[in-house]
Structure 1
Amino acid sequence: MAGRDGGITNRKLDLAARAAWLYYIRGRTQDEIAAELNVSRQNAQRLVALATAEGLIKFRMDYPITECVEMAERLRDRFELVFCDIVPGERRDEPSLAGIAISAAERIESYLSSKAPAVLALGTGRTLRAAVAQVSSMERPQHKIVSLVGNLTRDGRASPYDVAMRLCDRTGAQCYPLPTPVVADDIEQRKLLQSQRWYRTVSSLVLQVKASFMGIGEIGWGSPLHVDGFITDQELSDLVSAHAVGEMLGWAFDQNGDLLTTPFNGRLTAPPLAVPATAPTIIMGAGAAKAPAIRAALRGRLANGLITDETTAARVLELD
C-alpha cells in the first residue's frame, strides 16, 4: 500500500490510527481488531506497530511515582518554584529526554487550552524541540508564540533548534520569531539589530508572556552551545575562565546564578533575562553535566520552574 513516491499512503495511516485507537483506547485484542477492520491478525499487529513508529500515538502515564513527587516537593520548597515536575529516570546513566518532553508538552498544552488570548515564549534546544513534537495538534489562533533567541547561526544558517514556528504549525498560533543571529559580530551590530521595529515588537511581547519555556546548557568543551557552532573556541575559553557553569538563551552565568559581564554576553541578541523571574519561567533538561547549571539557575532565580528526571534532581539537591 505504498504511494507513488514509495511512501505510506493516507489510507494505510488511517487504518493504522484506527487500529491503534482500538488497541490502546478501547482495549480490543488483535483478533477483534482484525475482524473489525477486515484484515488478518498479522496485518492488525503490523498496523498497531506502524502507528507507533509513525508517531500517531503518544504514551502518557497518569500514575504518580512517590519518589519523584517527593523530590519535586523538595525542589519546589528549596528554590521557591511555581512548578516542578520530576519524571522517572533510567536505570542507566542517561537522561530521560522522552519523559521530560512529554511533561513539557503537557504543560505547554495547559496554557494553550485557555480560550483567552495569551503569549507564550520559547527558547531553543534539543529537549524543547522534542517537547514541541509531543504537543497535540489543535487550532489556537488567538495565542501568540514568541521566540526568545535568534534563529540564525553565526554563518547565516537557520538554527535546527528554532521551535517557535514548529509549535505554531501544530497549533495555528501566531508566530513571532527573532530573525537574528544568536550572537552578533560586535556590540554595534547587536545594537543595530535591536533597534529594528520587529525587534521592538518581540521585546514588547516578552513583557506580556504568560509563561516561558527554555532549555538549559552547561558551559564546557563539547557543550551544545559549542558543538552547534554558536560559540567559538576562544569565546568558550573566556567563559570557562570567567567561571561560567551554564547558559540560558546563551546568557552565561556562574555557580551562584549571577549573569556574567563578558564580551560574549554583551553581544547576545536575545532579550535580557528577567532577574528574578516573575512570570513562570520553566527550564528543562537532564544529565549529570547539566546538574550544576540547573542548580545555579534556580539558585540565582533565573528560572522558577523545572522539568527534569529523578537522577538529575537528586544530583541538584546533593549539590545544594
Structure 2
Amino acid sequence: MAPEPRSSNPEDVRMALRAARLYHFEGATQAEIAAVLGVSRPTAGRLIARARAQGLVRIEIVVPDELRAQVHTDLERELEAAFGLTEAVVLGDAPDDSPASLAPLARAAVAVLGRRLPAQATLGFTWGPETIAVATELGPHSARCATVVQLDGSLTSSDYQTGVEFTLGRCADRLRANPVRLHAPLYADAATVVALEQDSVLGRAIALGRTAEVMMFGVGTVSTATTLFEGSYLDTALLDELRGLGAVGEIGGRFYRADGTDVPGSLAARTVSVGLDAIRACGCTVLISGGAPKHQAVLGALRGGLATILVTDIECARWLLEKKEGARP
C-alpha cells in the first residue's frame, strides 16, 4: 500500500515524528506520549498512525544470521495465504525414512499443540511414524487435554508394529488425558464395518473421533513405500486400482485425489476410521509431513481442506508454493 500524502506543515511532521520516536524507540505508551507532547491520548494515537501512514516510520523484521537456516516466517505466511491455513511451520531439513529425521517436525508439532490444544478438548490421531515421533517428543508439561482417541483401526494379520499402543499411551500420560482405543482392523468387509460402528464400545470410539476438537496426522503415499503396504493392509493390485482412480495420498486409510476429493470405489465402505469429511469439519487439524516422496500427498490434502495447520520442511514448502494453483480460496 502506498503511503498517504505527507503533510507540508513542518509542525505536523515534527509532532508525528516525536510521537513515533517515543513509541517505537523509547517504548512509551500512548498516555505517556500524550503527557510529553501536551495532547490528548486519542491525538497521540493518531500521530503514531500518521507517522506510519505517511512513510515516516520504516519497520524492518530481521532474522538473526545464525537462525536463517531454521526460521522461515516469510514462507510460512505465503503458505497460509495460498492454502487458507491457520498456521504453517516450516523447518530446515527434510525428513527421510529414519525416526530421528522426524524429530524436528515432531518438536514443532508439540509446540503447536502447546498453543492450540484446549485443556478440555479431545485430541484424535491416526497411527504412523509422524504421530509416533510427536508422542516421543511430548514432555510432561507440553500441553494438556481431556481425551486422546485413535482415529483409525490398526489390527492386521501380520506382525507389523503400528506404534498405536505407544502413541496412545504416551499421549495420554503426557497430556494427562483419558485414552480411548479403537481396537479394530483398518479394513474389513462393509457389513463388518457397519457392525463395528454399532458396537457399544467401538462405536463410541469412532463417534468420539469424529467429533474431536483437534486432530493430528501424517499422510501416506500410494506406493509400496507406504506403511499400509508394509503392514499388509494393501497389496499391489489394490495400489494399482487406487492409482487408476486418481489417488495421490491417504489419511487414516482413506484415499484422496490430487484436488483433495475422496477417491471413489468400495474401499471407503470397508474402512474403519474417521471419514475425510469429519477431518474437513474439524476446526484444528495438524498435518505433520515432509520429504520429497510426500509432496504430492501433502498438496492434495491442502487442496482438499484436510489440514488447517501444516508442519513441514523448506523443500516441501517451496514445492507447494510452486504448485499452489488449485489451492483453497
TM-score (norm 2): 0.70
Give CA-to-partner distance per residue, 1:259-311, whole Å, 9 cap, x none.
11222222100021226344111111111111011011101112221111101
The partner residue of 1:107 within 112, 123, 135 is 112
The partner residue of 1:311 within 295, 306, 315 is 315
The partner residue of 1:246 within 246, 249, 254 is 249
Q: Which moved more, 1:267-276 or 1:285-294?
A: 267-276
CA contact (8 A) 1:215 1:284 kept: yes
Q: Which moved more, 1:141-150 or 1:249-258?
A: 141-150
Residue equivalent to 1:3: none
Q: Which aligned pairs between 1:61-140 and structure 2 lie closer than 5 A? A: 68-89=72-93, 96-111=101-116, 114=118, 116-138=119-141
Matched residue SS, 1:209: coil
5+ residue gaps, structure 1: 1-61
Aligned partners of 1:153, 1:91: CA distance in 2, in Å? 27
Residue equivalent to 1:199: 202
CA contact (8 A) 1:109 1:135 kept: no
Aligned partners of 1:83, 1:161: CA distance in 2, in Å? 27
Residue equivalent to 1:291: 295
CA contact (8 A) 2:160 2:230 kept: no
Residue 66 of structure 1, CA deviation:
7.9
CA contact (8 A) 2:110 2:142 kept: no
CA contact (8 A) 2:123 2:212 kept: yes
Give the share of equivalent positions with the same residue, in percent.
24
CA contact (8 A) 2:259 2:300 kept: yes
5+ residue gaps, structure 2: 1-65, 325-329
Residue 319 of structure 1, CA deviation:
2.5
The partner residue of 1:226 within 229, 235, 252 is 229
2:269 matched to 1:266? yes
Q: Residues 93 and 70 from structure 1, CA distance in 2 versus in 1: closer, same or farther, beyond 3 angstroms?
A: farther
Give CA-to-partner distance per residue, 1:4-39, whole Å, 9 cap, x none.
xxxxxxxxxxxxxxxxxxxxxxxxxxxxxxxxxxxx
Matched residue SS, 1:197: coil
Residue equivalent to 2:187: 183
Q: Residues 140 and 319 from structure 1, CA distance in 2 versus in 1: closer, same or farther, beyond 3 angstroms?
A: closer
> What amino acid does structure 2 have at the position aligned with 1:187?
A
Give CA-to-partner distance per residue, 1:195-245, whole Å, 9 cap, x none.
111233223323542211011111123222212222122221211111210
CA contact (8 A) 1:156 1:181 kept: no
CA contact (8 A) 1:123 1:147 kept: yes
CA contact (8 A) 1:96 1:309 kept: no
Residue 160 of structure 1, CA deviation:
2.7
Aligned partners of 1:85, 1:122: CA distance in 2, in Å? 19
2:294 matched to 1:256? no
Residue 133 of structure 1, CA deviation:
0.5
Aligned partners of 1:291, 1:231: CA distance in 2, in Å? 21
Aligned partners of 1:92, 1:275: CA distance in 2, in Å? 26
CA contact (8 A) 1:209 1:279 kept: no
Larger radius of gyration: 2
TM-score (norm 1): 0.72
2:143 matched to 1:145? no
CA contact (8 A) 2:211 2:282 kept: no
Q: Residues 255 and 71 from structure 1, CA distance in 2 versus in 1: closer, same or farther, beyond 3 angstroms?
A: same
Q: Residues 241 and 208 from structure 1, CA distance in 2 versus in 1: closer, same or farther, beyond 3 angstroms?
A: closer
Aligned partners of 1:127, 1:275: CA distance in 2, in Å? 17
Q: Residues 237 and 99 from structure 1, CA distance in 2 versus in 1: closer, same or farther, beyond 3 angstroms?
A: same
> What amino acid does structure 2 have at the position aligned with 1:102?
R
